Amino acid sequence: MAVSPESFPPRKRRPSANCFVAPNLSDRNLLKSLLLLSSEISTLKPLLFLLKRNTSSIIRKSKLLSVLFEEILGRDFTYSNTSRGGGGHVTGFPPSAVLCFDELYIVLQRMKTLLEDCRNCSKMWLLMQIDVFCNVFHELTLELSTLLDILPSKKLKLNDDVQELLILITKQCSEKFTYVDPKDRDLRSQVVEMLDRIEREIVPDQCELTEIFEKLTLRDSTSCRDEIELLEEEIQSQTDEKAISDIIALIGFVRYAKCVLYGGSTPRTNSRRRRAAADVNIPADFRCPISLDLMKDPVVVSTGQTYDRSSITLWFESGHTTCPKTGQTLTHTDLIQNSALKNLIAMWCREQKIPFESTEMNVKSNGVVTNKTALEATRMTVSFLVNKLKASQVVESANRLVHELRVLAKTDSDSRACIAEAAALPLMVKLLGSEHPSLQVNAVTTILNLSILEANKTRIMETDGVLNGVIEVLRSGATWEAKGNAAATIFSLSGVPAYKKRLARKTRVVKGLMDLAREGPTNSKRDALVAILNLAGDREAVGKLIEGGVVEMVADIMDGLPEEAVTILEVVVKKGGLVAIAAAYPLMKKLAIVLRDGTDRARESAAATLVNMCRKGGSEMVAELAVLQGIERVIWEIMGMGTGRGRRKAATLLRVLRRWAAGLDAEVASGAYSDVNMNTSTRIVLPG
């Protein structure tokens, strides 16, 4: 979907006064730039809800300035230059006038930026910061007054009409005090008082709530949703924890008012800001090996592998002490940020018009101790939505309410806890079986979002009907999106070792994931594959996966998703013993193709898989690999150009082949080939 380029990337800091500089232009071109800039400002519309007088005043002064600049530009100037020996006349503007023009350009640039900032920022935050913004308007007006005072009007030989215009503008800029509209102050006091009542667990009066939002022109669900997005962006501009905490409280307040005043809403199809990463083909190196999603905060573990911080943290919290990709025991669980990769991902997101909100920013906004106002606003919102959902008899109404819960469950841990504590899960059970596709998607996605919180995993597994409902959606959901989100829920739940074993024992889970991985669209396939990969981390679960046809499934998808396929096969072969190796035997040729043509990560996993198969499968397995034409050249290429782990695995694989070629079959089967001479002759067929 179309997204305006101006939205990327969101501005982290507002520019300071020192950021503006005058252009390096000739005198007349500088004056033309001033005329153009003042004309642009004069075409802007004043704000109608806050800062009305302040913005109108700046725009009115800019209109008068454009007339002044136009009059000056229409005259030819020569002035006496007494600073040079012998005097004389010079064509152009006096240097003192040019200096004033430079400074005027900077002031007008700041005015334009301020007006645009006021128009585009959050209305709630603008109201809370009304004194600050009014002071900035006043400071700019005083600077403009000073510059007009020192403008050398006599040297510019302005006629009487232009002189009068200059005097008029100067007088209008001579305001001694900052002006704050009493109505704006009163409205801010209303909001502050209402936030205080929410903190004291007093439900806001709906009539007063309506009055506030009407004055701020937040008159429907869409405008409230835009306001929430703007507040979320405002967090990125802040470094002060108190300010961030206050903004979070305002987000909760707006979200509550949105639900109470305008009801639930459904996803919009023309969001002005968002484009999903799923809409584009993500480079393999930008995907997390655990979640297979775009990494937002890539970090490196002790084995040198890179993962998304949230995924690897969840892996550690589930009790794992090994590297998910290599299976090696980690020497420590410290995470080192991969800044270079993060910058590359951010650049790619900008090119693709995808908002890049790093985990670091999310931690910043969610890591602040949530103030009581924000928490109580969330509880009130959840209570309102759940009570409305209980009473709802209309599918469309229920769909909007569940969508609101879905969005709320995605925001933070407090929201997830509040929703679960409000007994929303039992309400989701009957909705999972809904014939309304959108309602089913919203219900299963709400459960998925709730499952991110560790405490909610237990609630989901133990609440009657929830797990079975999710499994049923996985198997026979109305849409691929619903099936994919059900698979993602299985992945989330399987982060707990006990639940991983329990889920793997369910034939319906395994079959549902296999079918989705085979038949679904790419995004849904990946949801299923990441769940399968997580289940395969348990040795007992691997047996169930093999019985369910995981190797056959890998064979089916290897041509389309080679990296994901070989990653799963690597884990299955490593954990599954001889049964897995026997099942994987027919895939030797496909693995060799991936070894030759795949990405670095895919080649690494293919090499590791072949090493395990040859080590445990004996000479027959090695012979099958050895007869593949050009295999040794491919292995040499990986040893020279592959990843660190890929080079090690390729070297091991070559040693296996060399020993087999030398007739040391027994040692191949036992894995005793660590000190082989690499120059041993070989019977491997090489390309002509």
pLDDT score of 672: 40
Say yes or no to pLDDT of 532 above 80: yes
Quote the CA–CA distance of 558 and 561 in Å, as a whole number.
5
Inter-residue contact 626 to 661 (CB < 8 Å): yes
In sign, the C-alpha dihedral spanning 542, 546, 550, 551 is: positive
pLDDT score of 78: 57
Q: To 5 degrees, how large is the angle CA 663–CA 644–CA 559?
A: 75
Quote the CA–CA distance of 602 and 645 in Å, as a whole number.
12
- Rounded to 5 degrees, φ, ψ at 89 are -120, 140
Q: Is 106 left (phi over 0), alpha (psi -120 to 50) or beta?
A: alpha
pLDDT tens readout for residues 106-145: 999 999 999 999 998 899 999 999 999 999 999 999 998 8
Inter-residue contact 484 to 478 (CB < 8 Å): no
Question: In angstroms, what CA-CA distances link 477 with 378, 397, 483, 494?
Answer: 31, 21, 5, 20
**DSSP for 143-189, written as a single string:** HHHHHHHHS-TTTTT--HHHHHHHHHHHHHT---S----HHHHHHHH
Say yes or no to pLDDT of 494 above 50: yes
Q: To 5 degrees, how large is the angle CA 13–CA 19–CA 22?
A: 150
Question: In angstroms, what CA-CA distances link 156 with 26, 107, 566?
Answer: 17, 21, 78
Q: What is the DSSP letter of 586?
A: G
- Residue that the structure tokens 């206050």 belong to: 246
Inter-residue contact 571 to 609 (CB < 8 Å): no
Amino acid identity at 27: D
The mean pLDDT value for 519-529 works out to 91
Half-sphere exposure of 42 (CA within 13 A, CB side): 14
Question: In angstroms, what CA-CA distances link 184 with 130, 187, 188, 380, 402?
Answer: 8, 5, 6, 27, 36
- Rounded to 5 degrees, φ, ψ at 629 are -65, 130
Inter-residue contact 644 to 302 (CB < 8 Å): no
Beta-carbon contacts of 351 under 8 Å, excluding residues fewer than 6 positions away, are none
Beta-carbon contacts of 46 under 8 Å, excluding residues fewer than 6 positions away, are 52, 55, 56, 59
What SS3 class is residue 15? coil
Closest by CA to 574, choosing from 325, 317, 290, 292, is: 325
- Which residues does residue 329 pair with via DSSP β-bridges, in sequence order? 322
Quote the CA–CA distance of 418 and 424 in Å, as a whole number.
9
Q: For residue 6, name the pLDDT band (cuts at 50, 70, 90).
A: very low
Closest by CA to 117, choosing from 43, 37, 14, 34, is: 14
- Which residues does residue 298 pair with via DSSP β-bridges, in sequence order? 308
Say yes or no to pLDDT of 13 above 70: no
Angle, helix 395-409 to helix 413-421, in steps of 10 degrees? 140
pLDDT tens readout for residues 228-283: 989 988 887 787 888 888 998 999 999 999 999 988 776 654 444 444 555 567 78
Amino acid identity at 593: I
pLDDT tens readout for residues 30-47: 888 899 999 999 999 999
Token couple for 529: 């594959």
Quote the CA–CA distance of 314 and 495 in Å, as a whole number.
7
Say yes or no to pLDDT of 668 above 70: no
Q: To 5 degrees, how large is the angle CA 161–CA 163–CA 167?
A: 115
Say yes or no to pLDDT of 676 above 70: no
499-514 as b/e, with b when 16 or more CB fall inside 10 Å? bbbbbbeeeebbebbb
Beta-carbon contacts of 162 under 8 Å, excluding residues fewer than 6 positions away, are 68, 71, 72
Inter-residue contact 62 to 144 (CB < 8 Å): no
Quote the CA–CA distance of 221 and 262 in Å, as a whole number.
6
The torsion angle over the Cα atoms of residues 423, 429, 431 and 435, rounded to 10 degrees, is: 180
Which is higher by pLDDT, 683 or 434?
434
Token couple for 609: 């898989």
Segments of 278-383 assigned E as strands? 298-300, 306-308, 336-337
Helix (H), strand (E) at residue 190: helix 182-199
pLDDT score of 16: 55
Longest dimension (CA), the chain: 108
As a residue count, the chain comes to 688
Segments of 419-492 assigned E as strands? none
Question: In angstroms, what CA-CA distances link 446 with 164, 249, 391, 406?
Answer: 66, 23, 19, 4
Edge to edge, what strands does the sheet with 306-308 contain?
A: 306-308, 298-300, 336-337
Half-sphere exposure of 492 (CA within 13 A, CB side): 26
What SS3 class is residue 512? helix
pLDDT score of 172: 81
pLDDT score of 347: 80
Token couple for 10: 């969101």
pLDDT score of 267: 65
Query: Please, what is the average pLDDT of the chain?
Result: 83
Say yes or no to pLDDT of 486 above 80: yes
Token couple for 497: 């070792």
Beta-carbon contacts of 202 under 8 Å, excluding residues fewer than 6 positions away, are none
Q: What is the DSSP letter of 495?
A: T
Which is higher by pLDDT, 340 or 674?
340
Q: For residue 643, name the pLDDT band (cuts at 50, 70, 90).
A: confident
pLDDT score of 577: 80
Inter-residue contact 555 to 562 (CB < 8 Å): no
Say yes or no to pLDDT of 584 above 90: no
Amino acid identity at 215: K
- Which residues does residue 308 pair with via DSSP β-bridges, in sequence order? 298
Q: To 5 degrees, how large is the angle CA 575–CA 579–CA 581?
A: 75
Other beta carbons within 10 angstroms of residue 161's beta carbon come to: 10
- Rounded to 5 degrees, φ, ψ at 296 are -100, -25
- Residue that the structure tokens 């809370």 belong to: 128
Inter-residue contact 352 to 232 (CB < 8 Å): no
The burial of 252, by beta-carbon neighbours within 10 Å (0-12 exposed, 13-18 middle, 19 or more buried), is given as buried
pLDDT tens readout for residues 148-200: 888 887 777 777 777 888 888 888 887 788 899 999 999 999 999 999 999 99
